[in-house]
Amino acid sequence: MYRLGIDLGGTNIAVAVVDEKYNIVGRAKVKTDAHRPADQICDSIAEASKAAVKAAGLKMEDIASAGIGTPGSVIPSEGIVTYANNFTGFNNLPLCAMLKERLGIDIYIDNDANAAAYGEYLAGAGVGTNDFIAVTLGTGVGGGVIIGGKMLLGSNFAGGELGHTVLHMDGEPCTCGRKGCFEAYASATALIKQTKRAMDENKDSLMWKLAEKSGKVNGRTAFDAMRQGDKAGTEVVNNYCRFVAEGVCNIMNIFQPDLLCIGGGISNEKENLTDPVNELVRRDIYTRHTETKDRVCAAKLGNDAGIIGAAFLDKLYK
C-alpha cells in the first residue's frame, strides 16, 4: 500500500510516494508560482503527483490516498484551506475536493507545521513516543503538538501557535502584531537580526569575514564564528540558545511531552543547539527534580518530515 505526500510550499510543490514503512519510493517537484489562481496551482499539484507515481514505477491505482501539508489555516475534517496569506484565492478553498477530482483518490489535509510534526512523530525523532512536539525554527517559529497520537487542533483549528506566545512582554515586535513573542527571539529571522546587531557592535568580529564569504549574514554565521573561537559570535549563540530554551521550557511545562524536537534550518546545528538548550531546560523545568533524561532533540527527517507526515494524514483524519 502506497500513499502520496504533498508538501505545498510558497516556492515549490514537492510530492513523494511513501510506502507503509515510511520509505520514499518516488519523488517529483514543480514550481508553485504562488501568484497563480488556485485552479492552476491545483493542476500543478496533480501533475507533480502523477510524476511522483511514475518515478516510483507505480500507477495511480496503486495509491491508496494522498495528504497535503499547506501553509495557512486549515479545517482538516472539511478538507478546506480557510486562509493562506501567501497564496491568492486560498480563502475557504476546498483543496481536497479539487484534488480528488484531479487524482481520483481520497485527499487529506493539515497545515505544514502539523504535517511535519506528524512525519517526525511517525518516522523520525518522535518514533516510540506518545506525546510529542515539534518546534520549527525557520522564518517564523511553527509548532505541531501531538497528544496521545492525536494532533492538537484547537476548537477553531488554529491551535498550536507555539511561536506566538510572549516570552518578553513589550519586547521585540513580532510579525503577529504582538511584542515579545517566542518567534521574535527564536526564529532564524531573529537569529540573523541578533547576529547583525552583534556585528555592528563588534567591527572586529570574525562574523564579518564569514558573512562576506557566504555573501550574506545567515543563521549559521554566529555558529560558525563560535566554532572558530570568536567571542562575539559565541555570545550571540549563547543568547540565542537561552531564548530557545526559555520558550521550549514553557512548552515543556505546559505539555510535558515525552520528547520535543527542534526542526528548521537551525536544527542542522544538532548538539550545538540541543546541548545548551537541554542544559537550560533541565535547570529550569518545573519537574527538574525528577528529570532523568534529556527531552529535547533535533529533528531527523529534514524536509521529508512534511511529506511523510502529509502522506499519513489519513491516520489522523479518515
Residues forming contacts to a copy of itself in the complex (CB under 8 A) are 129-131, 145, 147, 152-162, 164-169, 171, 176-178, 243, 246, 249-250, 253-258, 284, 286-288, 290
Shortest distance in whole angstroms from residue 295 CB to a copy of itself: 9
Shortest distance in whole angstroms from residue 279 CB to a copy of itself: 15
Nearer to a copy of itself, 257 or 264 (CB): 257
Tell me the three state secondary structure of residue 107: strand
Alpha-carbon distance 143 to 291, whole Å?
23
Shortest distance in whole angstroms from residue 158 CB to a copy of itself: 5
Q: Across the beta sheet with 80-83, what order do the strands follow?
A: 73-75, 80-83, 91-93
Shortest distance in whole angstroms from residue 264 CB to a copy of itself: 19
- Residue 147 contacts by C-beta under 8 Å, 6 or more apart in sequence? 131, 255
Identify which of 277, 271, 205 has the alpha carbon closest to the alpha carbon of residue 238: 277
- Residue 72 contacts by C-beta under 8 Å, 6 or more apart in sequence? 81, 82, 83, 84, 85, 86, 87, 90, 111
Nearer to a copy of itself, 44 or 82 (CB): 82
Q: C-alpha cell of 308?
A: 511523510
Nearer to a copy of itself, 127 or 254 (CB): 254
Residues paired with residue 65 on neighbouring β-strands, in sequence order:
3, 106
Alpha-carbon distance 244 to 302, whole Å?
19
Shortest distance in whole angstroms from residue 239 CB to a copy of itself: 11
In degrees, rounded to 5, the angle at the alpha carbon of residue 206 between the alpha carbons of residues 204 and 207 is 105
Alpha-carbon distance 180 to 167, whole Å?
6
Nearer to a copy of itself, 165 or 218 (CB): 165
Shortest distance in whole angstroms from residue 57 CB to a copy of itself: 41
Nearer to a copy of itself, 52 or 252 (CB): 252
Nearer to a copy of itself, 213 or 288 (CB): 288
